[in-house]
Every structure is written in structure tokens, then in C-alpha cells.
């Protein structure tokens, strides 16, 4: 444990308000962004049962200008948040990020790659309803995030939501309305609320694997923010010309292909040729399964041999959010093609 790590439990948490439903207010035209977030958070937490409120750690609030509508977020917002955290994390025991739920898992995955080697918690949360809505889940989610962010044993990016703590780079939004909106289909929970306490499960976190100082990677995502990486879901009857419309675009630097089963694609020479041409041009291509559980094993079936021949990489059992964010992260860096490919196949933040 470094001297910095040993001291930080006495420091207040930092709550970064990035936007989302949690901070919205009702209006005649529907939900709109609301201001005065620090006072509103304090009022919501004060309404919790006295014992829960008394146990909350000290925190400070940073409200980003122009709150993010998470459905409109791009890699620029991922970069902006990582920059804010990197500039401030040593002043705080942990970080809580309040974010819209639509793309919260995408942001969490990207932060995990940008903030590799974290020596304290970064916990994202949000809400399905605004702070002041009757029966809102906002205060409970915030209190849970604060509790986990104050635990120095958590040393990675995570999501606290609906009573559970999930690895950020393994999480997906699974429900559109339910309070337990997020799931971790390929990795167990990092922790849960048990009898009112935020319990971190031993042996599941990254802390045991990390040594030394944080090794943040904060490249410029802007060149990739406007469609530099595509997510392409195959469908029965997809034609080579349709795939080429994506992959032949010179502005495209990489693509995530969502294929069938354990890694299958049509045995179509023209379609495989499009993939091979893109890969040969240095575009970083990866494949994962359309199935929510289980990984891709390229070449296991004859129907998947074309992917291997075309140089498409296996995303194993990564989530789409984690796989695409990783492509963006690697392509934003000045790396040789072979090093990018090697790093995609290597776990960087517990994503595979």
C-alpha cells in the first residue's frame, strides 16, 4: 500500500454530476434538466432513514457544465469524464459519477480502460426516476454508490445500482423501467446491499491484481468520436455490398461485428472478402456473439473459419459496450497494428 493510498480514507468523496434522469425535473413538456444539484442531493439523502443518513461518508459535489444527455453521449464525453477524474482523484477517497442510465455502461467501460491501475473506487450510478419523484430510486442508488466509493478495498470502476455493485466493464443495461436495470451476464457481482450494509465480496475485485502507481491512459478520442468505430449486427441475408458500405468508408478505423452463436458467419466468399480487405487496410475488427451469455470461439465451426482467415479478432465473452469502447481506446493511441491486436486479446481491466 502506498503512502497516498494509506492516507486517502480521511479525504471526502467527490460526486461528479454528469447529467441523467436523476437530476431532472418535471415540466409542462416532460422531464428537463434541473439545476441546484448539490442542495437537491443533500435533501434527498436527508430523507433517508436516520441510521442510513448518519452512516454516509463526507462528500463534495462537482457539477459539469452542460449536463450530458446520456443517449447523445459520444467518446468525447468519456474522455472528458476521465480527464476530470484523473485531475482530481488524489484529493478524494473515491469518486461517484452521476450519469444517465442509457449509456452508463458504455461510459463505465471506457473509464475502466482510461483509468487502468486505479488505487481507489470510481463508482457510477444514476436513477430510473428523478430525485423528487414519488418512490424514486435516486437517493438509494446514490447512498449505495457513496458507501462503496468509501471502501478502499474497491480499486476499479464499478456501477452501483438497484442494491448491487457490478464491474463497470462487465455491465449492461438490461431493463428499460425496472429499478434493477443493470446486469452482469459474464461476471459475478462485486458486492450487494445486505441488511442495509454495502458488502464487498472478497476475491472478485481487481485490487489483488494491481501493483504500483495508477497507469492511466488518456488518449484523444475526438478523431473517433463521430463514427470512427462501428457496431455491425449481422442478420440473415446480409449482403457483401451492405457490409462494404460500412467497412470501405475511409473514415472508419475499426468495427465490432456481432455474429451468430459461438462465432459463425455466412460462408460467402464476397462477404469474407470485404472483411479481409478491411483488415488488410489496418482496420481493427473484432467479433462477439449476439447471444447475451457465452463467448465467441472463432473457427470452432466451419462456418466461422472465414472470420479467422479475414483476421477478425475474438471478443470472447465481452459485452458489446466493453468491446466497442476497447476498440476506441486502442485506436486512439499511436500503436503498431500488431500491438493493438495483442492488446485487444489481453485483459486490460478485467473485461475478458
Q: What is the pLDDT of residues 260-306, one digit of tens each?
A: 988 889 889 999 999 999 999 999 999 999 999 989 888 666 556 88
Whether the CA torsion 125, 130, 131, 136 is positive or negative: it is: negative
pLDDT score of 209: 61
With cut-offs at 50, 70 and 90, classify the pLDDT of residue 211.
low
pLDDT score of 300: 65
Instruction: Report the C-alpha gap between 242 and 232 in whole angstroms.
Output: 10
Nearest to 95 by CA among 69, 57, 127: 57
Cβ neighbour number for residue 232 with a 10 Å cutoff: 17
Does the reported pTM lie above 0.85? yes
Instruction: Report the C-alpha gap between 88 and 67 in whole angstroms.
Output: 19
Q: Mean pLDDT, to the nearest integer, of 247-263?
A: 95
pLDDT score of 77: 96
pLDDT score of 226: 94
For all residues of the chain together, what is the average pLDDT? Answer: 92
| Inter-residue contact 273 to 245 (CB < 8 Å) | no
Instruction: Report the C-alpha gap between 134 and 324 in whole angstroms.
Output: 36
Output the CA–CA distances (angstroms, integers) from residue 151 to 84, 119, 257, in the order listed: 21, 11, 38
Residue 2 pLDDT exceeds 50: no
Which stretch of 37-51, 84-98, 203-217, 319-333 has the lowest confidence by average pLDDT?
Answer: 203-217
Residue 118 pLDDT exceeds 60: yes
105 φψ region: left (φ > 0), alpha (ψ -120 to 50), beta (else):
alpha
Burial 124-149 (b: 16+ CB within 10 A, else e): bbbbbbbbebeebbbbbbbbbbbbbb
pLDDT score of 4: 42
User: Which has the higher per-residue pLDDT, 267 or 10?
Assistant: 267
Give the residue numbers marked as catalytic: 21
Q: Mean pLDDT, to the nearest integer, of 205-234?
A: 88
- Tell me the Cα Rg of the chain: 21
Q: Mean pLDDT, to the nearest integer, of 150-167?
A: 97
pLDDT score of 5: 40
Q: At 95, phi and psi to the nearest 5? A: -125, 135
Compute the CA torsion angle 278, 279, 281, 282 (nearest 10 deg): 130
Burial 302-329 (b: 16+ CB within 10 A, else e): ebbbbbeebbbbbbbbbbbbbbbbbbbb
pLDDT score of 264: 87
Q: Are strands 182-183 and 313-314 parallel, antiparallel or unpaired?
A: unpaired
Amino acid at each position: 500500500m502506498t503512502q497516498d493510498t494509506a492516507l486517502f480514507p480521511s479525504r471526502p468523496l467527490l460526486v461528479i454530476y454528469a447529467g441523467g434522469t436523476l437530476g431532472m425535473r418535471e415540466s409542462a413538456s416532460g422531464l428537463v434538466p434541473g439545476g441546484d444539484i448539490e442542495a437537491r442531493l443533500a435533501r434527498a439523502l436527508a430523507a433517508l432513514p436516520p441510521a442510513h443518513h448518519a452512516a454516509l461518508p463526507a462528500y463534495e459535489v462537482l457539477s459539469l457544465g452542460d449536463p450530458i444527455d446520456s443517449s447523445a453521449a459520444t467518446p468525447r464525453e468519456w474522455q472528458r469524464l476521465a480527464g476530470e477524474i484523473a485531475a482530481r482523484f488524489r484529493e478524494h477517497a473515491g469518486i461517484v459519477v452521476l450519469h444517465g442510465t442509457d449509456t452508463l455502461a458504455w461510459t463505465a467501460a471506457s473509464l475502466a480502460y482510461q483509468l487502468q491501475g486505479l488505487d481507489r473506487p470510481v463508482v457510477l450510478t444514476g436513477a430510473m426516476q428523478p430525485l423528487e419523484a414519488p418512490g424514486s430510486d435516486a437517493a438509494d442508488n446514490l447512498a449505495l454508490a457513496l458507501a462503496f466509493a468509501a471502501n478502499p478495498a474497491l480499486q476499479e470502476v464499478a456501477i452501483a445500482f438497484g442494491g448491487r455493485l457490478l464491474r463497470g466493464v462487465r455491465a449492461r443495461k438490461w431493463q428499460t423501467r425496472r429499478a434493477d436495470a443493470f446486469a452482469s451476464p459474464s461476471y459475478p457481482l462485486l458486492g450487494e446491499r445486505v441488511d442495509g450494509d454495502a458488502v464487498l465480496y472478497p476475491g472478485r475485485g481487481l485490487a489483488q491484481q494491481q501493483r504500483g502507481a495508477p497507469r492511466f491512459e488518456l488518449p484523444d478520442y475526438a478523431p473517433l468520436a463521430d463514427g470512427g468505430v462501428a457496431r455491425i449486427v449481422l442478420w440473415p441475408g446480409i449482403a457483401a455490398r451492405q457490409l462494404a458500405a460500412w467497412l470501405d468508408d475511409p473514415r472508419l478505423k475499426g468495427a465490432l461485428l456481432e455474429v451468430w452463436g459461438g462465432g459463425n458467419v455466412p460462408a460467402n466468399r464476397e462477404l469474407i472478402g470485404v472483411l479481409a480487405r478491411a483488415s488488410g487496410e489496418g482496420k481493427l475488427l473484432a467479433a462477439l456473439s449476439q447471444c447475451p451469455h457465452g463467448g465467441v470461439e472463432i473457427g470452432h465451426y466451419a462456418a466461422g473459419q472465414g472470420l479467422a482467415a479475414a483476421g477478425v479478432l475474438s471478443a470472447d465473452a465481452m459485452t458489446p459496450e466493453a468491446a466497442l469502447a476497447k476498440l476506441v481506446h486502442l485506436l486512439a493511441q499511436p500503436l503498431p497494428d500488431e500491438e493493438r491486436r495483442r492488446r485487444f486479446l489481453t485483459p486490460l481491466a478485467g473485461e475478458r
